[in-house]
Amino acid sequence: MDRESKNKGYSSQDRQTKSSEAEQRLRKVTESEVLEGRMAQIKHKIMVLSGKGGVGKSTVAANVAVALAMEGKNVGLLDIDFHGPSIPTLLNLEGSRLAHDGESLLPIEFGEGLKVMSLGFLLNEPDEAVIWRGPMKMNVLKQLLSEVKWGDLDYLIMDFPPGTGDEPLSAAQLIPNSDGAIIVTTPQTLSTNDVRKSINFCRKVNVPVLGVIENMSGFVCPQCKSVVDIFKKGGGEAMAQEMGVDFLAKIPLDPLIVEASDNGKPFVYFQSEAPGAKAFDGIIEPLLSLAFEKLLPEDKVQKESVGQVRIAVPVTDGLLSSHFGHCDSFALFDVDSQSNEIINRQDIQPPAHEPGLLPAWLKENNADLIIAGGMGSRAQDLFTENGIRVVVGAPQNDPETVVKVYLEGTLETSDNLCDH
């Protein structure tokens, strides 16, 4: 750089670089604000995942969304299976084109109470292959979440590609307060082994597992209506029990489901009296009670009978502790599960810190949920095994304030302060 350029300070190229960086930062802030605004209009956000392809995940997602709409709920269905978007076929929406109001993409209306957005609507041809790397998928997912005008929704059902790759990881980062994931498997060991990975993935990224569905659980003969266990039976239920998560339903392999799916007619609506359709009652029931599901673990039935749940908060110097294992005490809050109001607080001293001791000890003290600043992944697994739900990344604040904000659904969590 010559003396004249030095005397002028930054060069023209430097100024352009600084301006470009400032524009990028402003765009990121704006995009984040828009995303938060869109998500704030949606009460419950639910992912549908599977560890393996070909298990009927998209069929489950579509019928869950339709079943919730049939209950009078406002529902959105987002198909982000980048490499095999099936929702347009399942709902007979192939060839649909999206509208734009000048600011936002408008989802396709399907019947009463259901809005649909699929990557399939964005492809020029149904057979077009999507060949995108991870960063591109992250950007497209963010755009679909922030640029689609869903409006006020009771539920957003998100249909993901199989596996534990970029898409569910990106969603966990973009929607840190999602209600959780429904995991779909078939009964055979080949499938349940992969689904275990999905459950462990959810635990590592702090996505609650709402439950497991065993799809293709026995074949229903169209003539005699007897059931033949082609893929065995009960593997998904046994796996869910071993992993310490809820089991939601068994859906039989019914030719009526295949016919309805190929014709774009939601099975739960057009074949509502069939055994497979009735199985969806066991799936949507906990979704309709998500206000309780966020608080109550697998032994919620006994707790609901007395209408209380117990939330544990580790405390150090009067504030939520940055690490649960080194706190001075635990504040235990009893909450009325109907009004979501705190009805009692009890502060107790924990036993001397030993690996694996506190989860069992809090279980003995009837804790249903622990809110902490930091917690290692192994400790999180131990709490889950003891039937205690975990929220990490909570701010160091007065514990009662933390619990009240959590009950209001406005608790803002940051990165896990201890993830070893």
Give the residue among 141, 91, 144 at the shortest CA–CA distance from 114. Answer: 91
**In the chain, where does the domain assigned CATH 3.30.420.130 lie?**
300-408
Task: Give the homologous superfamily in CATH for domain 300-408.
Answer: Dinitrogenase iron-molybdenum cofactor biosynthesis domain (3.30.420.130)
pLDDT digits (tens, 9 = 90+) for 225-244: 677 777 777 888 888 888 88
pLDDT at 80 exceeding the cut of 90: no
pTM of the model: 0.61
DSSP sequence for 221-268: -TTT--EE-TT-SSHHHHHHHHHT--EEEEEEE-HHHHHHHHTT--HH
pLDDT at 391 exceeding the cut of 80: yes
- DSSP-assigned beta bridge partners for residue 105: 100, 148
Q: Which helix (H) or strand (E) holds 14?
A: helix 12-40
2 DSSP 8-state letter: -
The answer to whether the beta carbons of residues 310 and 332 sit under 8 Å apart is yes
CA angle (84 as vertex; 82, 90 as ends), nearest 5: 120
**pLDDT band for position 398 (cuts 50, 70, 90):** very high
189-204 helix and 235-243 helix, angle to the nearest 10 degrees = 30
Alpha-carbon span 75 to 210, nearest angstrom: 18
User: 293 or 80: which carries more pLDDT confidence?
Assistant: 80
pLDDT at 7 exceeding the cut of 60: no
Amino acid identity for residue 289 in this structure = S
Residue 276: count other Cβ atoms within 10 Å of its Cβ. Answer: 23
- Asked if CATH classification 3.40.50.300 holds for the domain at 33-293, the reply, yes or no, is yes
pLDDT at 166 exceeding the cut of 70: no
Which residue matches tokens 């608790």?
Answer: 411
Least confident range of 229-233, 291-295, 367-371: 291-295
Q: Which three-class secondary structure state does DSSP give residue 4?
A: helix
What the block records as the tokens of 62 is 């579509």
The answer to whether the beta carbons of residues 403 and 361 sit under 8 Å apart is no
Res 8: pLDDT: 47
Alpha-carbon span 104 to 106, nearest angstrom: 6
Q: Return mean pLDDT, the chain.
A: 78
Quick one: 44 exposed, middle or buried, by C-beta within 10 A (0-12, 13-18, 19+)?
buried
- DSSP-assigned beta bridge partners for residue 399: none
Res 302: pLDDT: 39
148 DSSP 8-state letter: B
pLDDT digits (tens, 9 = 90+) for 177-194: 788 899 999 888 888 888
Res 332: pLDDT: 96
Alpha-carbon span 401 to 396, nearest angstrom: 10
Sign of CA dihedral 377, 302, 156, 275: positive
382 DSSP 8-state letter: H
Which residue matches tokens 């007065």?
Answer: 398
pLDDT at 52 exceeding the cut of 60: yes
Alpha-carbon span 347 to 364, nearest angstrom: 15
CA distances, 260 to each of 42, 65, 214, 221 (Å)? 29, 15, 19, 16
pLDDT at 84 exceeding the cut of 80: no
As a whole-number percent, the residues of the chain with pLDDT over 70 amount to 79
Alpha-carbon span 330 to 349, nearest angstrom: 6
Least confident range of 145-159, 163-177, 190-204: 163-177
Radius of gyration of the chain (CA): 24
User: 420 or 234: which carries more pLDDT confidence?
Assistant: 234
Alpha-carbon span 344 to 333, nearest angstrom: 6
Alpha-carbon span 199 to 187, nearest angstrom: 16
377-385 helix and 357-364 helix, angle to the nearest 10 degrees = 30
**In the chain, where does the domain assigned CATH 3.40.50.300 lie?**
33-293
Alpha-carbon span 301 to 321, nearest angstrom: 30
Quick one: 378 exposed, middle or buried, by C-beta within 10 A (0-12, 13-18, 19+)?
exposed
